[in-house]
Structure 1
Amino acid sequence: MNPQTITQLPIPTYFEPEGVGKVWRVPYQERAAQASDWAKKYNIKPAVEDRTRICLLLVDVQNTFCIPGFELFVSGQSGTGAVDDNRRLCEFIYRNLDAISAIAPTLDTHTAMQIFHPVFWVNEAEEHPIPAATNITPADIKQGIWKVNPDVAYSLGREYSALQNHALHYVQQLSQHGKYPLTVWPYHSMLGGIGHALVSAVEEAVFFHCIARSSQTEFQIKGNNPLTENYSVLSPEVLEDANGRPIAQKNRRLIQQLLDFDAVIIAGQAKSHCVGWTIDDLLTAIQQTNLSLTQKVYLLEDCTSPVVIPGVVDYTQQADAAFKRFAAAGMHIVKSTESIIQKVKNE
């Protein structure tokens, strides 16, 4: 492809950077009219006309992870990680509105009775584990330190003994396949709750893109299976129960959709967990197809942060190591301020 110069668009005047860390209602009708006018003013064509098709995959850019004071705010080491990431992300979307063909936001989606939430577990004193500070290992279950809460079996439609067997099998599978140990997290991304929603400023930018480019936003639901974690949007942590029967499936449709694009740009939260494992699963799919496809993947490193809970856990090292591995495999580690679209279209 011949080199070409890509001119970035301006940022709409309604965008308020200081509002990225807050929750508010997006004025859809007003933004729709502005997006249509914006497309006419800057000669922005419908996405269907794109010769180079670019997908922006946004992993779990939700209030629960991105707004200070919410359940699992991803602070990173700076203390303001996700807020700063999303400010840059919004600016990236607006500046490259005419080049991004499709936006696919993932939505971590939970109810209370799931294997990683406190109510699922009890100890001998009938106490639930302390969230974020408790990892459950095979030894914990074998020794009776933690067991499945008998009271959740009915609501999940399972016999208690089968559920307890699954719990042991589950944590063993995590250990055997090099996954993070089962962490009991605070209740988060609760379906129907404010935490489940996209960050308002990001939702606004995504909606603006949808109207300006006539490109339906491709929302991806993940994480609603009560018997497995689902950090990656492409695959749950464990696929089969103790008897080899499937409990969940890979998102093969999305995997194929991503591989069909000319480029995939990835951002979101958290770098150490849902972003990292999504990229890892995409890399696995690429390795099973054509390793050269790694060249079409771009990771917005300044639009993602690792999980850091001061005095409890810090996953910065694991996140950085994973990104180095992704780069070594051929993926591009970039910043949102770089001429990424220029690079994509000139390759």
Structure 2
Amino acid sequence: MSDVHAKNILLIIDPQNDFHTKDVNNKHATLSVTNSENDATNIVKLINSGKFNEIHVSLDTHTENHIGHSGFYVKGHVPFGFYNDSVNAKKRDDIPDNYLEKYNELHIAKRGGNYQMWPDHCINKTDGHKIYKSIQDELNKSKNVKYHIKGQNELTEMYSIFSATVDPADIFEQIDQKSPPVNKNSDYDRVKGVDSYEEAINSENLETTMNDGLIEHLLGNGNTVYVCGQAKSHCVADSIIDLLNAIKQRGLSGNVVLVDDASSPVLLPGEINGNSKLMEGAQERINEAATAASDNNSRYKTQHTDAILSLSFGNMPGGKKREKSRKLKDKKNKKMTKTKNKKMTKTKNKKMTKTKKGTKTRGRR
């Protein structure tokens, strides 16, 4: 049963330059997602709508030596492809024997396919890591925004904001070796996140286990979590699946909505927009998790941006109060604009009058 204090929460997954189309403001884009510029337009609309009690933003954050990048391997890899023994047999000397083999086995078990090799992307403190400009500009105007970093642990992929695809500790247990210690001295609170992008890039989060605290915060009290961002086939899908699994496993009362036109899948070479093989697999896993979360799939649905924007404030948690506040703000802005226009018109008229007088005087001379 939904609580009277239920919230609407916007969860924006990895809205970073490297996942967006190159343009005048974004010259990096090493892993551009087709249609991402249109997704960004809709994300801006969602942020600007004022319909959300909280906004949470995840940031894919890597080093050159991440397992999905060439720096992890002595031999390197092709720009876009899949793991295979013949290409990647020569790993770094500091990686235990059989690590990649076990990693790939567990990856297949969880995601249904070999792990992927990517062009270097979202390297911390680079332009590619920054949030896409139009989205960041709108976030800067908003309150109650939290930023969460993920993917800093070089030994595993972390598509989901909540957990790693494969927990390195599970691999080290299988190969009977001690897992490298995770830095527990970091000031970063992975449940609360941080208040700004600047704080995020100076934070460290090497944790790979399920972020139960953040999930409980988002899905507690009958909250509805609206998920958007990039890419739908990977980080968005895995985040949604973690949320749906939590509803089932821990009896959480929240709901999950995928904003379908504010997220797009990764396309393999030769694929066209709207036909992603990777998304087909992701959708099957989402459907399975949604069915498990509730018998009639009532806890998960997809919606378009316009449908969400058309919802009246009064029908959303805390909406009446925010509607009143927004109307007062709009009224104030209109009044300020009207006053400003009057002043500009008055100043312009004075200048025109002064110019006319000066012209007449010069004419008499």
Q: Same fold (TM over 0.5)?
A: yes
What is the CA–CA distance in structure 2 between the aligned matches of 1:116 and 1:264, rounded to whole Å? Answer: 29
Structure 1 residue runs without a partner (length 5+): 2-49, 76-80
1:274/1:339 CA distance change after superposition, 3 Å: closer
Percent identity over paired residues? 28
Please, which of 28, 44, 51 is the counterpart of residue 90 of structure 1?
Answer: 44
TM-score, length-scaled by structure 2: 0.66
TM-score, length-scaled by structure 1: 0.69
Deviations 1:198-217 (A, max 9, x none): 1111111112112xxxx2x2
Aligned match of 2:72: 120
Alignment partner of 1:186: what SS?
A: coil
Aligned match of 1:169: 102
Higher RCO (Cα < 8 Å, 6 or more apart)? 1
Alignment partner of 2:66: what SS?
A: coil
Aligned match of 1:191: 124
Please, which of 141, 144, 147 is the counterpart of residue 219 of structure 1?
Answer: 147
Deviations 1:96-119 (A, max 9, x none): x1x311111000000001111112
- Structure-to-structure mapping, 1:22-61, within 5 angstroms: 51-61=5-15
Contact in 2 for aligned 1:64/1:195 (Cα 8 Å): yes
Deviations 1:10-57 (A, max 9, x none): xxxxxxxxxxxxxxxxxxxxxxxxxxxxxxxxxxxxxxxx95422110
Paired letter, 2:304? K
Paired letter, 2:245? T
Give the superposition deviation at 1:227: 0.4
Aligned match of 1:334: 303
What is the CA–CA distance in structure 1 between the aligned matches of 2:211 and 2:6, rounded to whole Å? Answer: 24
Contact in 2 for aligned 1:175/1:181 (Cα 8 Å): yes
Contact in 2 for aligned 1:67/1:199 (Cα 8 Å): no
Considering only aligned residues, what root-mean-square deviation do their CA atoms show, in Å?
A: 2.7
Give the superposition deviation at 1:345: 4.7
Alignment partner of 1:265: what SS?
A: strand
Alignment partner of 1:303: what SS?
A: strand
Give the superposition deviation at 1:276: 0.3
What is the CA–CA distance in structure 1 between the aligned matches of 2:48 and 2:110, rounded to whole Å? Answer: 40
What is the CA–CA distance in structure 1 between the aligned matches of 2:134 and 2:154, rounded to whole Å? Answer: 30
Q: Which has the larger Rg?
A: 2
Give the superposition deviation at 1:308: 0.9
Mapped pair 1:229 → 2:192: no
Alignment partner of 2:307: what SS?
A: coil
Give the superposition deviation at 1:260: 2.0
Deviations 1:138-159 (A, max 9, x none): xx2xxx5422433xx4xxxx4x
1:243/1:339 CA distance change after superposition, 3 Å: closer
- Structure-to-structure mapping, 1:62-141, within 5 angstroms: 62-68=16-22, 70-75=29-34, 81-95=35-49, 97=50, 99-122=51-74, 127-132=75-80, 134-137=81-84, 140=85
Q: How many residues are paired up?
A: 266
